[in-house]
Amino acid sequence: MTFPLLAERQRVSVKYCDPELIGQHAARALILEVETWPKPGLVSHVDKGAHADMDAALLRLSARTLEPFFIALAEAGAMGAGMDRLRQIGMEAEKAMRDATGGVNTHRGAIFGLGLLAAAAGLAATCDWQPPLGPLIALRWGQDIVDKAPEHDSHGSVVARRYRVGGARAEAAAGMPSVYEIARPALAEGRRLAMGDEEAARVHACMALIAVVDDSNLLYRAGPEGLNFARDKARAFLADGGVGRANWRWDAKAIHEAFVMRNLSPGGCADLLAMALFTEVLEL
């Protein structure tokens, strides 16, 4: 199956690989997200953040549990599967995740977003497509994503109805703009500011996402007031120089503690960070 290249995209080299490696890269991206501190309100290898029901060990277990399903999604993408088949694999992945975690929703959002990127990576390996992967998602599955009625029991669907925001479905249908226009540039900027410190770069990208994304988890937990509080804190951190300052980690820790006190957790931004890390490995 061949798809036309989008005229406005710059043609660059690509490093797509077999489905097993795609699945490994997806699981590794989730683990790298966990191994990042301090991310405001989020679980890390240091603490549980604003989550009483999960920790880093549980998130690592979840990532390893999901790896074979990311492989299956890459294989399905390589076969040109439609959205119905991808959804079926995603539902199987969610069941396996909840079985492994005792019912805890560790990575439901990542199954959707990162799963679509894994499927797109599988498809890209079989057709004339150059990176980024996001526009391939929009071209191949975007209309199906828009047309499918959202699940009424998910936090994202509740927030979308209540606050009229697009959420993960709109992000995917648009080609993952938050990944490519916010997270990826922020990762590069963070590395430059922190002289190659990878953990610092991930914190910087997380803050950049929090500063602008309509995070469904923040809205679900605390409404617009919580979202605005989170954005203001992240924007102030970035305006002060982000991870380019000697004391940046203490400032980020203080923001993290303020999020925990208010029970704020930008889980959607965590998923987008993992997606950015995944695409960096596959797109050169």
174's CB contacts (< 8 A; 6+ apart) are 138, 142, 166
Both tokens assigned to 248: 């940046």
With a cut of 80, say whether residue 185 has pLDDT above it.
yes
Name the DSSP letter for residue 80: T
Q: What is the pLDDT of residues 59-84, one digit of tens each?
A: 999 999 999 999 999 999 999 999 99
For residue 155, what pLDDT is reported? Answer: 59
For residue 6, what pLDDT is reported? Answer: 28
For the chain, domain boundaries: 19-282
- Distance between CA 220 and CA 215 in Å, rounded? 9
- Of 17, 117, 15, 126, nearest to 70 by C-alpha is 117
Both tokens assigned to 37: 């501190």
Q: What is the pLDDT of residues 213-232, one digit of tens each?
A: 999 999 989 999 999 999 99
Mean residue pLDDT of the chain comes to: 90
Average pLDDT on 182-208 reads 98
Name the DSSP letter for residue 14: B
For residue 165, what pLDDT is reported? Answer: 60
For residue 158, what pLDDT is reported? Answer: 58
- Distance between CA 242 and CA 28 in Å, rounded? 25
